[in-house]
Amino acid sequence: SRYYRRKVTATAMLDEVLLLESVENDYPSLVREALSINSDVEFHHCASLSETNYVSFIIGRALFIWKLNDEKSTINVPFVLTLPPSGLPYTIRTIRIYKKSNSSTVGVIAISPEGTIRHWPNISRNYIDSSIDLEREVALSLDVITKSEEVMFLLSTTTCSFFLLSLDTGRAPTPGKRQKMAYGIISKPLYTNASRSIGKRVSSVLFGDTGKHGSRLLKAIVIEMISREECDTDDVDEFSEERLRDVYILALKSKTLQLYSIDSPSKAWSFDPTQLAVEHFANLVWNLHNIPEQSKWRQEMKVWLVDCVRIRAGIVILMAAANTAVSTQIHFALGFLPIRGVKEATEDFEWFSLLKLPTNETFRVSESTEEDSLMGLTLHLPLESQQCSHERIEGLLLVSRHFAYSIRLPDSLQGNAEVGSVHAASFLDDTLIGSACDTRFCYVLLKERGINRIRLLPRGFDANLARSVLAVQAMSTSNGDTASNVDRDLLAEAFLLFAKGDLPRSHNRVEDLLGVRRTSVAQLCINYALDIVDDIPNDERWHAVGVQTRRKSPLTESSFLLKVHLDEQKRKVLAMFILFLKYMGLDAKLDVTVHSQLSDSRSGCSQMAELTEKVDIAIGLYAWCEKHSVAYIDAAINRVLRNRKEIINDDLLTPYDYFFYRLSRIDELLDALLVEEEEALSASTELNEKLVCIEQVGTAFVIFAEAIEQRRANSLIKTGDHFRWTQQRSIFSPIVKHLDIIFDYLSPHIENNTRGSQLRLHAISLSSIVLEEQPPNERLGSPIIAKFIAVGEKAVGIDLAKKFHDYRTLIELTEELPEDERRSQIEHYKDYFRTADFHRVLLEYYMEKGQLKNLLEEDGPQAEEFFSSNDTVKWIRELHKRQFDMASYSLKSLAQRRGDDVIVKKHLLSFAKLAALCADERDTELLDEIKGGLRLIAHQEDTPNDILKKVDAVSSKSGIMRSLTAEQIITANVNDRRCDCDCHFRALLTLSSVLDEPACSSHNDLIKSLKAKIWLSAVKADSSLWKQIRTRSDEHKQTIYYELLNRLVESDLNDARKMQLLPNIEELIGCMTELSTNQRFAFIVRSEEEAARRQIPEVTKQRKEQLSGEIEFARARGFNY
């Protein structure tokens, strides 16, 4: 299935726990009675579970057998069989329950340690005794050979002899074959060891094999391998053993691993894994290497094989090792050995990993027998776990005398890959009788607690909730086969399987859903969760009043109390559904926005959390209403039901039944309570009645708030920074209004008595939830905290301000203290909060209040970060530190961003210029940029106000002038309707300022464009006059062009700048297309430009001569010029 092929990581992030899930409440009474009577140590007991779910339980010589049934209400009556006499204790491994392929009859075979066979062909009839010659060996185990069509068994002894047993079908023995008719059982020796004395037989069973070379058999596994030679079916004779050609025996001994052939009884190969394991243990546990210097530490190392299980194309072996040169502690490891074939023995571990048990259970080398410490350790691997990934299942199970361990093996059994998670379940308070596994699960049979299934489940899993889930689904089964209903049914089926504990099948259904769904997963999950919290109870009273459910079959006979309904059908089922989503990795799909009756703009996880909180609110309110009869609550509930237009049948159901079944809308009670409270306060004239009303309504609000707080402290689903339902103003607005009412009556209406104390507690609790839902910036200077202070609860206000980080209120309160105490308190808060946010709010407060001294005294990383990120005060800090060059840059940068107010910009640039002049090393480029900015502002200020207003440079409301660029100033001047010489000359001077800027070379195109724009505007201003000039005359001296040339020549600009500002004549003439036929125009324009070009140096020369004469005149009269 896709489940087994797909690696899923959701469970790795979810906390899991290993549980012992009770399968039966107790053993059958006959078994329990036998256990209590035969409790002495001389009585031996053991138990196991067959693949067909039959329990076999040995107490002394009594064998109890019964069918395991998951229905705990079923009473099991066991069969009681008597085992053959034996001088040795029985082991459950030599008991086998079987069924024939063509019959439902259950048969039992029991073999005593000495080899007596007692066979019950039918468990309810008499037995047949026979025997098998074990040649003084001791029976170890009896296993079913499943490949054969007939029922066949493999009997193994402790010294590694093997016998093939089959049921007698009435055939005569084959001549030449070594067979023995045994009254219904045919036995055939496959491989035998030499006989030994009776003393060794007893010690073999009681203490294990003490011989060398690891001759004691631990476990025999019947395996199937593909034969290298395929046989034609015609060659198969009538004897059943001929059908076992591909069946082999894998024998695990304490030191070796051996493979035996059944077809031709012989040993195929023998392999010693302990030699390989020594190197792994030495390196991984004791960091020892095969070098002479460490030989003395390696000599005391011992390795034992403990148990093995079949997995994939090989086996996993549990090994133990100890190094008595270091300590007596035994360490464990798992290793994977592939089984490649009959002729090719395994050479090395493909995978080896240390096994660290997550308990305080330790094993040590025993003084008497080293292997005693390892007795009782058993590996189990259910059939379904042998060929698949171990995600979402228990995986490999290890059972000791006091613990059960679940071990998830890695997907790839290669190298030294570590095992996955290892979980443990304890039964220290009980006695282990036996353990076994079926196709899917592993079980432990305990003396006191009965049969328990070992389950690895997500933490919080409720194994007793499947019926409640089924009841909820019965009330909300979808109708029709629309795409959304099909999707919902798949989700519901997956959830039900999850609740039953069938996690793999549940995951398969989820995979099916994800493959075919037509509705978003988030939408499906929210809709299903709404069904859980809003469906009517599984209560026959609802059916009796005619409420139609989606299920057509009758409801169950048992009537649910409302309290049970809220807890079982609502809270627990919803919690289980969320656990299901998390375990299947579907919770990650809830981050998207979901449109539902709850909200159209919030995420699915936010809405899921809302439902969990509303269920808790309902449970809390109902529990309180059960104990207190409050008229205001009853009235509010009736008001809600009237608003919903519910039709109430008072004969069988109460308003509470109607109100508490639709929990997604329980917040409607808040507004209804507030209305009832306001009406009661306005109608009453008695203060005591008003206070009672406020207190009772407040109690309901507090229950609402505390339920939310408690649920969020143990949240079932994480919402992160998603918008929560309580952050909607419509939710906490009634709480805020109720708080206002409380504050109105706290002072001065009531004294500090019991009722006043209760109202104060309500105010604190409700204030907490409101403040919790507010964004951090909204909490600063909180009006709610201010009201506590206003009614004399200053200590409460300070506590709330500390809890919810209302830094501003705390800072404001320090202003009431003397200066020394204020400083001390501020330092206390800095140390208390230790956050950058407090420093930021403190510095912003100082800046807002104009407390420059306090602002500049602040020091440290937070202060530096604040000043560096706040250009408004950054320059002040730099001036205070006499960092004039940095202050100049900061002021210039700030001025460039203050284009909204030219006066502020001018002041900032002036300060920047002053700071630059104060610097130790003057930055001439920076100074030129600042001067350029100031010159540009001067040109803007020289521009008439009416011109600036036309380009919206001056605000009509505030009168503040914004800063204009050079292009904007030039455009405003040349576009003025007066269009006189002054406007154009101001434009030229503005352009001159642009040319003064160091970066003007990068704006050549703009400068040329602006100059052309000015001179073209000057010519066009007199276009009608230019058209009339045809003869030689002085009329052109009346034009703005002529006047502007003269103004430029006579200006105080240097000669080079004047030359730069002269017009480009050819470009100017080319632009005046309407005067292209007027040759006089072109001649005058050129001649006047040439005349101006000649006059510029002459004017400069005349001014110098005039200045020189004035200087000589002054000196002649005694002035030191």
Cα–Cα distances in angstroms (integers) from residue 689 to residues 693, 695, 895, in the given order: 6, 10, 64
432, pLDDT greater than 80: yes
Cα–Cα distances in angstroms (integers) from residue 185 to residues 61, 119, 206, in the given order: 22, 8, 28
Which two three-digit tokens encode residue 370?
Answer: 């080293």
Mean pLDDT confidence for 176-185? 55
996, pLDDT greater than 50: yes
Neighbours of 266 (CB within 10 A): 12
Mean pLDDT confidence for 997-1007? 81
Alpha carbon 1059 to chain centroid, angstroms: 73
Secondary structure of 490-552 in the HEC alphabet?
HHHHHHHHHHCCCHHHHHHHHHHHHHHCCCCHHHHHHHHHHHHHHCCCCCHHHHHCCCCCCCC
Alpha-helix runs per DSSP H in 354-417:
none
At residue 1031 the predicted structure's pLDDT band, cuts being 50, 70 and 90, is low
Secondary structure of 789-810 in the HEC alphabet?
HHCCCHHHHHHHHHHCCCHHHH
Mean pLDDT confidence for 570-591? 92
**Which among 993, 999, 998, 1005 has a CA at the least distance from the CA of 965?**
993
Distance between CA atoms of 1021 and 333, rounded to whole angstroms?
102
Mean pLDDT confidence for 1050-1069? 88
- List of residues 6+ apart from 730 with CB closer than 8 A: none
219, pLDDT greater than 90: yes
- Per-residue pLDDT, 1078: 76
Which two three-digit tokens encode residue 615?
Answer: 């269920």
Cα–Cα distances in angstroms (integers) from residue 281 to residues 306, 329, 357, 1033, in the given order: 15, 13, 16, 119
What 8-state DSSP symbol labels residue 603?
B
3-state secondary structure of 11: helix
Please report, in angstroms and rounded to a whole number, the separation of the first and last CA atoms in the chain: 108
Distance between CA atoms of 406 and 423, rounded to whole angstroms?
5
Mean pLDDT confidence for 159-177? 72
Angle 1003-1009-1010 from CA coordinates, rounded to 5°? 90
For 767-804, what is each residue's pLDDT tens digit? Answer: 998 999 889 999 999 999 999 998 888 999 999 999 99
Distance between CA atoms of 779 and 146, rounded to whole angstroms?
74
Secondary structure of 567-601 in the HEC alphabet?
HHHHHHHHHHHHHHHHHCCHHHHHHCECCCCCCCC
For 235-264, what is each residue's pLDDT tens digit? Answer: 444 444 445 457 889 999 988 999 998 877
1008, pLDDT greater than 80: yes
At residue 863 the predicted structure's pLDDT band, cuts being 50, 70 and 90, is confident
**Which among 716, 725, 726 has a CA at the least distance from the CA of 573?**
716
For 341-369, what is each residue's pLDDT tens digit? Answer: 787 777 889 999 999 998 888 888 876 55
Distance between CA atoms of 947 and 932, rounded to whole angstroms?
22
For 265-292, what is each residue's pLDDT tens digit? Answer: 788 888 899 989 998 999 999 988 877 7
For 679-688, what is each residue's pLDDT tens digit? Answer: 999 998 888 8
Mean pLDDT confidence for 660-666? 89
Annotate 214-282 with DSSP letters as a single string: T--EEEEEEEE---SSPPPGGG--SSGGGGGTTEEEEEEESS-EEEEETTTTEEEEEE-HHHHHHHHHH
For 934-977, what is each residue's pLDDT tens digit? Answer: 988 898 888 888 888 888 888 888 888 888 988 888 888 888 88
Which two three-digit tokens encode residue 192?
Answer: 């035998």
The CATH code of domain 1-17+272-459 reads 2.130.10.10
- Cβ atoms of 27 and 58 within 8 Å: the answer is no
- Per-residue pLDDT, 841: 93
- Per-residue pLDDT, 818: 94
> In this structure, which amino acid lies at residue 1095?
Q
Mean pLDDT confidence for 691-695? 91
3-state secondary structure of 564: helix
- Per-residue pLDDT, 16: 87
Alpha carbon 1011 to chain centroid, angstroms: 65
Burial of 722 (0-12, 13-18, 19+ CB in 10 A): middle
Burial of 47 (0-12, 13-18, 19+ CB in 10 A): buried
- Per-residue pLDDT, 12: 43
207, pLDDT greater than 80: no
1082, pLDDT greater than 60: yes
Least confident stretch, 112-121, 451-460, 596-605, 647-656 = 647-656
Higher pLDDT pick, 3 / 596: 596
Annotate 53-107 with DSSP letters as a single string: SEEEEEETTEEEEEE--S-TTPPP--EEEEPPP-SS---GGGEEEEE-TT---EE
- Per-residue pLDDT, 845: 92
Neighbours of 928 (CB within 10 A): 14
Mean pLDDT confidence for 1078-1102? 87
Instruction: Tell me phi and psi for residue 221, to 5 degrees.
Output: -120, 130
Instruction: Tell me phi and psi for residue 819, to 5 degrees.
Output: -60, -45
Angle 29-35-39 from CA coordinates, rounded to 5°? 155
| In this structure, CATH architecture of domain 870-964 | Up-down Bundle (1.20)
Mean pLDDT confidence for 544-555? 43
Neighbours of 1105 (CB within 10 A): 10
| CATH 2.130.10.10 in the chain, residue ranges | 1-17+272-459
Proportion of the chain above pLDDT 70, given as a percent = 86
- Cβ atoms of 988 and 1014 within 8 Å: the answer is yes
- Per-residue pLDDT, 548: 43
Instruction: Tell me phi and psi for residue 515, to 5 degrees.
Output: -80, -25
Give bridge partners of residue 836 from the DSSP assignment. none
526, pLDDT greater than 80: yes
Sheet containing strand 301-311, strands side by side: 301-311, 314-323, 331-338, 351-355
- List of residues 6+ apart from 860 with CB closer than 8 A: 839
- Cβ atoms of 92 and 48 within 8 Å: the answer is yes
- Per-residue pLDDT, 165: 92
At residue 390 the predicted structure's pLDDT band, cuts being 50, 70 and 90, is low
Annotate 411-458 with DSSP letters as a single string: SS--BTPPP--EEEEE-TTS-EEEEEE-SS-EEEEETTTEEEEEEEEE
**Which among 368, 359, 273 has a CA at the least distance from the CA of 321?**
273
| CATH 1.20.58.1380 in the chain, residue ranges | 870-964
At residue 561 the predicted structure's pLDDT band, cuts being 50, 70 and 90, is low
Distance between CA atoms of 34 and 297, rounded to whole angstroms?
51
Mean pLDDT confidence for 526-530? 93
- List of residues 6+ apart from 1083 with CB closer than 8 A: none
Distance between CA atoms of 769 and 722, rounded to whole angstroms?
17
Distance between CA atoms of 264 and 245, rounded to whole angstroms?
8
Q: What is the mean pLDDT of the chain?
A: 83
Least confident stretch, 100-114, 174-188, 752-766 = 174-188
- Per-residue pLDDT, 315: 92
**Which among 981, 998, 987, 1106 has a CA at the least distance from the CA of 1044?**
981
- Residue 748, preceding bond cis, omega within 30 degrees? yes
**Which among 669, 668, 647 has a CA at the least distance from the CA of 658?**
647
At residue 83 the predicted structure's pLDDT band, cuts being 50, 70 and 90, is very high
pTM above 0.75, yes or no: no
- Cβ atoms of 974 and 1009 within 8 Å: the answer is no
Cα–Cα distances in angstroms (integers) from residue 844 to residues 693, 833, 851, 857, 866, in the given order: 43, 17, 10, 14, 9
3-state secondary structure of 763: helix
556, pLDDT greater than 50: no
Distance between CA atoms of 810 and 829, rounded to whole angstroms?
8
3-state secondary structure of 402: coil
39, pLDDT greater than 80: no
Please name the helix (run of DSSP H) or strand (run of DSSP E) that holds residue 376, with its range, or none. none
Question: Positive or negative CA dihedral for 594, 596, 599, 605?
Answer: negative
Residues in the chain: 1121
